[in-house]
Amino acid sequence: MTQKIKVGILGASGYTGAEAMRLLLRHPHVEITLLTADRKAGQSVEEVYPHLGGYGLPDMVSVDDADWSSVDVVFCGLPHGTTQEIIATLPEDVKVVDMSADFRLRDPETYAEWYGHTHQALELQKSAVYGLTELYRDDVKSARLVACPGCYPTATLIALLPLVRAGLVDPLDLIIDAKSGITGAGRGLKQNTLFSEAGEGMGPYSVSKHRHAPEIEQEVAAFAGLEASNVRVNFIPHLVPMSRGELVTCHLKLTEGKTAADIRTEFEATFKDEPFVRVLSEGQVPQTQMVRGSNNCVVNVFEDRIPGRVIVIAAIDNLVKGSSGQAIQNMNLMFGFDETEGLEQVALFP
């Protein structure tokens, strides 16, 4: 076989890091040579993630002790805000697949407004490609730094951008009611993600002020040919008692004269050759159970009872297509591998 590329995972003790390990362990052209995790530095993978024990992975090291000469590409699963400083120090020839939010927003002012501080690597930001693979594939191929979308924007934009681009729906009347499994809140210790608090119940959070709203607005505006500051979406996420899975229910207003059938036609045309997006049969509802553990996205459209409106629904696994899986999909493009390498896992059900 060809030589394997060497991969580092920064922030390997978080869920996106663990998921990257799980998937990359099966990738035929990859060797994991570096794992950083500041608070777990010195620990073995088995200690941090028992399910990943026995695979010969390297021990965790502090990011300060990382040997960058040992890697061709890094996946960044670091907390938002810390990524930009670290990436700025990396050797030029190390490619970067960023799973944090640091390089998603193109406008520095919007970034500062939503993340509470000035961006620390504006030059890098300019060169970053937004890694929503299905819609930015060519840009990703030649990028050094790919900013993978947030989990909610991934599911939302796969469904909405083709419709906005084709002028089928009103980009100024987008209502996105989103639901996520608890891993979306990360591995950090929080009272509201304890089993006994998050289980057997549900509710919304960050109503009207979730950081994924401006990210969605940025892309909708770009595909609609509008100023981002003119696009405002209703985006409300809910936390649902399941570990993985994300479902977005989009309540949309059709452009005058357009129908649900037009949307179905557009979906089928857009996604017919996509390996990871499946338009479901008419009437079949997307469920997160269809995609758990896989890089797949399922999508469908339904007529609303209110004339002139439709409901578009998409489901993904937030840790795979919504994070580490899409990151690997991007890495495959950046290194000229088959886009599906390491990602052919079938969904786990039941």
Q: How far is the CB of 203 from a copy of itself (least distance, A)?
A: 3
Which residues in the 184-213 window bind a copy of itself by CB under 8 A?
187, 189-191, 193-205, 207-209, 213
Which residues in the 260-299 window bind a copy of itself by CB under 8 A?
278, 280-281, 284-294
Q: How far is the CB of 23 from a copy of itself (least distance, A)?
A: 8
Distance (Å, whole) CA 125 – CA 235: 25
Residue 52 near a copy of itself by CB under 8 A = yes
What does the per-residue mask of binding to a copy of itself show for 21-40, with x meaning CB under 8 A? xx--xx--------------
Residue 235 near a copy of itself by CB under 8 A = yes
Count of chain residues binding a copy of itself (CB under 8 A): 88
170: closest CA among 68, 49, 252? Answer: 252
Q: How far is CA 340 from CA 211, 293, 294, 336, in A?
A: 29, 15, 11, 11
Beta-bridged to residue 34, according to DSSP, are 8
Residue 254 near a copy of itself by CB under 8 A = no
Query: Active site includes 151?
Result: yes
Burial of 297 (0-12, 13-18, 19+ CB in 10 A): buried
- Stretch binding a copy of itself (CB under 8 A), from 90-98, 142-150, 173-181, 333-341: 173-181
Which listed residue (6, 144, 238, 264) binds a copy of itself by CB under 8 A? 238
- Stretch binding a copy of itself (CB under 8 A), from 90-98, 125-133, 147-155, 341-349: 341-349
Q: How far is CA 175 from CA 133, 171, 247, in A?
A: 23, 10, 14
Residue 248 near a copy of itself by CB under 8 A = no
Distance (Å, whole) CA 198 – CA 186: 13
Under a CB-based contact definition with an 8 Å cutoff, are residues 151 and 210 in contact?
Answer: no
Sign of CA dihedral 227, 122, 151, 297: positive
Which listed residue (313, 331, 333, 343) binds a copy of itself by CB under 8 A? 313
- Residues belonging to the active site: 151
